[in-house]
């Protein structure tokens, strides 16, 4: 009965008005699963306090919009169109000039990175441009909320879409497909949320303040929290900051090196960064054009 009442409220009220403060009480099994992954850094009381804190408790409207986009039965097709449009169009020659200037600006860092990891600067710059336009676009989504929503509330969104008749639209996935995808997102969100909280405690930053993409990616390299274990301090200031360009450059190089850049080739490691084949082809093409423009060690 309690779940029915909650679901009724969710279907007649925008989910961003629902918020997260009651989740520990209403979904204790999922909450305890999360707690078990972070208990080395948080007590249960501290985790509950985080959920009811002003920065987390009330879902931002943009979080609701992004969750609706990610979980919508039409979202895979829409995301693919957006993705293909970004990578299949011709690379603007102005960016090649911009990339070459960027290389000159950080030439010293790229030399250090190459001698340590043997990763070419053109490959790193191509990724940086794809992920954040060389650090100029990093997203404004409150990361902690997007993962809490994916983990705890995805089923409520699916129920809402069903009530709206979204599964009957042209090119929409079936409800069974949406449920299968939702369970996959739930698992991924759990590990990313746990990683965000653990890294926040271990690196001394507030996980509730971190903002990034609607998918949950952070900083200039757009690392998912679960990939932050590959992040490095590139400027020697004693802290890892993915909004620092030297740290971002070192972190991307480390990620590629750890994913067999030298042993199996750059395309293999690009695919570990993003498994989409269009992404891999786009990064390779972009990198090759940068190399032709003199961006190489």
Q: How far apart are CA 167 and CA 175, in angstroms?
A: 6
**Three-state secondary structure of 234-286:** CCCCCCCCCCCHHHHHHHHHHHHHHCCHHHHCHHHHHHHHCCCHHHHHHHHHH
Q: Taking residues 20-34, what's their average pLDDT?
A: 95
Element at 131 (helix H, strand E): helix 121-132
Query: Tokens at residue 83, please?
Result: 């993705």
pLDDT band at 154 (very low <50, low <70, confident <90, very high): very high
Fold of 92-138+218-292: Lysozyme (1.10.530)
Least confident piece of the model among 89-93, 109-113, 225-229: 89-93
Give per-residue pLDDT as tens, 231-269.
999 999 999 999 999 999 999 999 999 999 999 999 999
Domain residue extents for the chain: 2-71+143-212, 92-138+218-292
Query: Tokens at residue 52, please?
Result: 């009811």
Compute the Cα dihedral for 154, 158, 163, 165 and give only its sign. positive
For residue 20, the 8-state DSSP code is S
């Amino acid at each position: 009965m309690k779940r029915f009442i909650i679901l009724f409220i969710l279907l007649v009220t925008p989910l961003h008005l629902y918020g997260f403060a009651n989740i520990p009480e209403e979904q204790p099994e999922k909450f305890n699963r999360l707690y078990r992954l972070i208990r080395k850094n948080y007590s249960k009381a501290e985790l509950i306090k985080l959920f009811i804190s002003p920065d987390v408790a009330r879902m931002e409207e943009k979080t609701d919009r992004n969750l609706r986009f990610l979980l919508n039965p039409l979202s895979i097709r829409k995301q693919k169109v957006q993705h293909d449009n970004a990578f299949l169009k011709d690379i603007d020659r102005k960016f090649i000039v911009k990339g070459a200037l960027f290389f000159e600006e950080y030439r010293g860092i790229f030399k250090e990175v190459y001698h340590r990891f043997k990763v070419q600067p053109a490959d790193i710059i191509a990724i940086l441009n794809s992920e954040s336009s060389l650090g100029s676009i990093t997203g404004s989504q409150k990361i902690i909320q997007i993962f809490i929503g994916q983990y705890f509330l995805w089923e409520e969104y699916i129920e809402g879409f069903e009530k709206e008749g979204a599964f009957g639209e042209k090119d929409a996935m079936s409800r069974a497909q949406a449920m299968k995808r939702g369970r996959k997102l739930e698992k991924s969100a759990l590990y990313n949320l746990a990683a965000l909280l653990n890294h926040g405690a271990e690196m001394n930053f507030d996980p509730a303040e971190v903002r990034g993409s609607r998918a949950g990616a952070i900083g200039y390299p757009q690392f998912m929290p679960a990939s932050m274990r590959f992040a490095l301090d590139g400027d020697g200031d004693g802290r890892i900051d993915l909004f620092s360009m030297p740290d971002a450059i070192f972190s991307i190089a480390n990620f590629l090196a750890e994913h067999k850049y030298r042993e199996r080739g750059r395309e293999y490691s690009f695919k570990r960064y993003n498994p989409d084949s269009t992404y891999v082809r786009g990064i390779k093409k972009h990198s090759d054009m940068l190399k032709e423009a003199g961006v190489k060690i």
